[in-house]
Amino acid sequence: MNYFHIWLISRKSRYLLTSESLAPDFRERLTVERASDYPAKRRGFDITLYHMGNNVHHETIYRCALRYPGLVVLHDLFLHHFIGHMTFVQGDYGSYARELGYALGSEGLSLYSDIRLGRRRFPVFDVPLCNRIIDRSLGLIVHSKTTAATIQTIRPDRPARVIPALIAPAGRAFSSEEFGVSLKMLLFSPVWVLSI
């Protein structure tokens, strides 16, 4: 299966991945592409895997995922900070109003009006603003049962598969038995990486 995996790689980020920063044996098996190359190459892949989080460096990934739907790994359910920064903070008030309206209907538009008039604070921890990416995705992967259940309340027709994040509690490490596989089987890197 051919797939196109879009990672968070940004020149604005301290986590810049370049082909030179990869181990030589890994570099030979990995192709680093630019986001601008993706539209022309996308038909050569069976699926696109987007990693989406609540961070301003995900803007290219978000826009690409909306335009060219694929499988979305939703690392953060609450995208409100990200959406707010991408719209309201940049002076694009209309797009912020549309996102609130998309998520909450007419109640969202009333909320927007109250925010603009200073009567309400931004509901960054009350309104996730993840509806659009959920609706446009071909499938969802999340890291907790709680997030999957919340998605079911937002969009009952959009199931999410849970793949736990590999984050061990302080003071202990994961064992392969917890995952029911040999650690040699775990794949942490894709075949393709899209550089933004």
Cβ(193)–Cβ(31) under 8 Å? Answer: yes
Please provide residue 188's backbone torsions phi and psi, each rounded to the nearest 5 degrees: -105, -10
Which H or E run includes 110? Answer: helix 106-116
Structure tokens at 156: 């009952």
Give the residue with greater pLDDT, 129 vs 16.
129
Per-residue pLDDT averaged across 144-169, rounded? 88
Task: Give this prediction's pTM.
Answer: 0.75
Span 129-157, mean pLDDT? 95
What is the chain's mean pLDDT, rounded? 78
- Mean pLDDT for 86-110 is 97
Q: Which of 19-28, 140-149, 170-179 has the highest mean pLDDT?
A: 140-149
